[in-house]
Structure 1
Amino acid sequence: MPSLMEGGTWELFSDSILYPKEASKYKWAEGEILDVSGHTRNCNSLQFAPNGALLATGGDDKSARLFNTTDWRCTQKFDQGDGVVQLCWNPTGSTSLATLAADKVLRFWDVRWVSFLAALLLLLKGLVRSQKAVWQLKVSHEYINIAWTPDGATVAVGSSVGKDETGGVKDSVSLVDVATRKVSKKLKFSYEVNEFVWAPNSAHLLLTTEHGTVEVLSTDGEAYTMRAHTDDCYCLAIDAPAGRLAVGSKDSIVSIWDLPNLACIKTNARHITPVRCVAFSRDAEFLASSAYDPGIDIAETETGDLAYKLEAPCAMNSLAWHPSSLLLAYALDTKAGSTGTATAPAPAPDTTFIKLFKVPPPQ
């Protein structure tokens, strides 16, 4: 075939030339940013209840809180022995919450009110109900993460061991049986394990590691290694109905995977610092990610293209989408400066640590 200089013709490699991308049906620029007030110090973790009626948050002020998603008022407060590191809901309902605190205690809470009359009285008085944990479990190592199985039977708890006496164990994951309230199994690792999630079958645990891999471990002992990134994998999110997995790495890249086949289908390389948080929206239509650089990247999951860049003054500690609407909750890391790495001055007393980004529904 003659070259273009010799009178040849172009060969069409992409139909994007003929079919340009359509404009988004969502008006991102018209999105509303709301403040959620309650915590007096940094919020480290947040998550919507499965039914979307409540937003659970945990912070350095030694409390976990529940906010009603109709008016964003704090309705319940769960006092902890130290700052809350992580929290998660029981996926089978919206009445059970688990929290991890820096005092090395795993606590389980029943978020139901004692009675409608008591709830009404407290609301009329403008008070926040504080209650005690249903049960708790203490260990000797620092907690780093938590994940509840989709069937509600087991909670996985990650601990940073450092190095044991033999020098062979660095991190561990304890599987807590919710029915017996005891640790049923303990997984030990000679390398760093970061965030993890359960697969839809409740039998496989997917863990990010310092080796740039995602380890897929089954409760019966089988294992599979996904070689995902060129540097430490820090965070991941799963959307079972859509069959998607997202992984964020120290190499500043977010990878999107086809979950059934464990095959990478897209990557997002728009971040310039290590990725800290990833979260899928309803039906995995969008993927929000944040790094040590300020702001939030919202990508179209199927294409990886940028849908919207949400500006923010600093990095994020946690991201969570509402289960049924295009509403993103995010926790600001006020300890970080504008670059995401420098230490910032102590926040002002009126600082809002949690914000919401509410996108108008398509016309």
Structure 2
Amino acid sequence: MDVPYAQQFQSRNIHPPDFKTWGSAAARAHKDRVLSVGWSSDGRRLASVSADKSLRIWPDKALQSSRPDAKMATAMIGHSDKVMQLAWHPTDSNLLSTVSLDKTLRCWDIRARAPTHTLLLDTPAYNVAYHPDGTTVAAGAETIAFFDMTAATPMKTLEQKQKTGLINHDFKWSADGQLFTVCCDDGSFTAYRYPSFEQEFASTTHTSDLTKVEFTRDNRYMLTGGGDAVVNVWDLEEGACVNTINDIEGLVRSMSINFNSECVAIGTDDRNISIASIHTGHVLHSFNAGARTKAVAWHPTNALLAYASEDITRDEHLREPGLMNISSSVRVWGKGVGRGVSKGE
């Protein structure tokens, strides 16, 4: 039975947001495509990384108007190739890590404006994730290396754990740190117990590449999204799919779960960002992002979503010159944006 939109939230004593009243803002932050965005654990800073080889750190006040000032972003230089993804330390809001096609994992303290550690990888890296306790970082793509941040050397890799020839599109730890899930390009995922790496459960329910995985903060659900334009919701206690979000178009390129584990933002190839209910699978709202959405990130406590576009081809730029500016911009959308960012609902 369909549950009315408002009742989806009221049943859990949550006031339903009016997404239609939310505003947006953008700043041309980089010289090339923005590839990843993320909020610090305290929500006071937003980081962005780009194909221009840089990391930029934005204070939250830089995003409180309809025309954010890009000059307020601090540039962090160190990588020698495209910076593909970033991850903030889960407990220390001054620390974060980035991975690049230059085969390095770099760990940064934003107070120093320079890498505190540069760790070498065997292959170019597309993904990075912290364990919830902040002591371990996973980085890689073809293989996944786990770094003990107190020793700065790989603890182990998952190279032998994966089938030959598979690419690991994404990986994350669960909120309690007891599961580590890896998504692969054959539509499968494997959830490992951590730190034993014994298989907890696995599935090949997606009919195309499995591109993204996210966990809710309450540790109840895991979400997987793929090239089949489907997001599956998995009950972690049962190890079973309990919901499907399929009213979206295009390959799922990015996902982020909001601060109260009610909604997921989904960025796809169709240039729309969809906001869907995790509990019912219904799409609650959708808006045009202007280009394929490479990255989305909900603020940890506020009604605010940061996002960035995907690659813009030469042909697309010739047809629509404005798309190139979208590609190099950091963008935010939320309640009160353009009039001052408001607090969580």
TM, length-normalised to structure 2: 0.84
Aligned partner (choices 191, 206, 213) of residue 229 of structure 1: 206
> Could you tell me which amino acid in structure 2 is paired with residue 76 of structure 1?
T
Secondary structure, in 3 states, of the residue corresponding to 1:208?
strand
> Could you tell me which amino acid in structure 2 is paired with residue 138 of structure 1?
L
Confirm or deny that 1:175 pairs with 2:146. yes
Instruction: Please state how far the C-alpha of 1:244 moved relative to its aligned partner.
Output: 2.0
Confirm or deny that 1:253 pairs with 2:230. yes
Secondary structure, in 3 states, of the residue corresponding to 1:85?
strand
Equivalent position of 1:355 in the other structure: 331
Equivalent position of 2:12 in the other structure: none
Instruction: Please state how far the C-alpha of 1:272 moved relative to its aligned partner.
Output: 2.7
Higher Cα radius of gyration:
1
Instruction: Please state how far the C-alpha of 1:203 moved relative to its aligned partner.
Output: 4.1
Contact 1:98/1:107, CA 8 A, preserved across alignment:
yes
Aligned partner (choices 323, 329, 354) of residue 306 of structure 2: 329
Equivalent position of 2:156 in the other structure: 185
After superposition, what is the alpha-carbon deviation per residue over 1:174-225, rounded to whole angstroms, capped at 9, x for unaligned? 1111000000101112122210101234343101112322201233231131
Equivalent residues in 2 for 1:299-310 (5 A)? 299-310=276-287
Secondary structure, in 3 states, of the residue corresponding to 1:29?
helix
Instruction: Please state how far the C-alpha of 1:156 moved relative to its aligned partner.
Output: 0.6
Equivalent position of 1:157 in the other structure: 139
Distance 2:258 2:323 in 1: 32
Instruction: Point out the more displaced range, 59-68 or 263-272.
Output: 263-272
After superposition, what is the alpha-carbon deviation per residue over 1:73-94, rounded to whole angstroms, capped at 9, x for unaligned? 5342111222211110110221
Equivalent position of 2:339 in the other structure: none
Confirm or deny that 1:147 pairs with 2:118. no
Confirm or deny that 1:270 pairs with 2:247. yes
Secondary structure, in 3 states, of the residue corresponding to 1:71?
helix
> Could you tell me which amino acid in structure 1 is paired with residue 76 of structure 2?
F
Residues 103, 21 of structure 1: alpha-carbon distance in 2 compared, 3 angstrom cutoff: closer
Instruction: Please state how far the C-alpha of 1:349 moved relative to its aligned partner.
Output: 7.8
Residues 21, 297 of structure 1: alpha-carbon distance in 2 compared, 3 angstrom cutoff: closer
Contact 2:100/2:126, CA 8 A, preserved across alignment:
no
Instruction: Please state how far the C-alpha of 1:133 moved relative to its aligned partner.
Output: 0.9
Distance 2:187 2:325 in 1: 40
Contact 1:56/1:65, CA 8 A, preserved across alignment:
yes
Instruction: Please state how far the C-alpha of 1:348 moved relative to its aligned partner.
Output: 7.6
- Number of corresponding residues: 315
Instruction: Please state how far the C-alpha of 1:236 moved relative to its aligned partner.
Output: 1.2
Which is bigger in relative contact order (C-alpha 8 A, separation at least 6)? Answer: 2
Distance 2:265 2:324 in 1: 29
Equivalent position of 1:204 in the other structure: 179
Equivalent residues in 2 for 1:100-139 (5 A)? 100-112=99-111, 131-139=113-121
Instruction: Please state how far the C-alpha of 1:54 moved relative to its aligned partner.
Output: 0.3
After superposition, what is the alpha-carbon deviation per residue over 1:37-92, rounded to whole angstroms, capped at 9, x for unaligned? 32121100110001000001100111001001123353421112222111101102
Secondary structure, in 3 states, of the residue corresponding to 1:51?
coil
After superposition, what is the alpha-carbon deviation per residue over 1:265-306, rounded to whole angstroms, capped at 9, x for unaligned? 211112232211111011111111121111101112211112
Equivalent position of 1:297 in the other structure: 274
Residues 25, 205 of structure 1: alpha-carbon distance in 2 compared, 3 angstrom cutoff: closer
Aligned partner (choices 46, 53, 56) of residue 47 of structure 2: 56
> What runs of 5+ residues in structure 2 fail to find an aligned partner?
8-14, 64-68, 337-341
Contact 2:316/2:323, CA 8 A, preserved across alignment:
no
> Could you tell me which amino acid in structure 2 is paired with residue 233 of structure 1?
L
After superposition, what is the alpha-carbon deviation per residue over 1:142-177, rounded to whole angstroms, capped at 9, x for unaligned? 112111100111111123xxxxxxxxxxx2111111
Distance 2:280 2:189 in 1: 22
Residues 348, 300 of structure 1: alpha-carbon distance in 2 compared, 3 angstrom cutoff: closer
Instruction: Please state how far the C-alpha of 1:232 moved relative to its aligned partner.
Output: 2.1
Distance 1:347 1:20 in 2: 38
RMSD: 2.4
Aligned partner (choices 31, 45, 61) of residue 40 of structure 1: 31
Distance 1:26 1:348 in 2: 30
Aligned partner (choices 252, 256, 259) of residue 279 of structure 1: 256
> Could you tell me which amino acid in structure 2 is paired with residue 86 of structure 1?
Q
Contact 1:64/1:77, CA 8 A, preserved across alignment:
yes
Confirm or deny that 1:87 pairs with 2:82. no
Equivalent position of 2:22 in the other structure: 31
Residues 71, 217 of structure 1: alpha-carbon distance in 2 compared, 3 angstrom cutoff: same
Instruction: Please state how far the C-alpha of 1:27 moved relative to its aligned partner.
Output: 2.0
Residues 264, 63 of structure 1: alpha-carbon distance in 2 compared, 3 angstrom cutoff: same
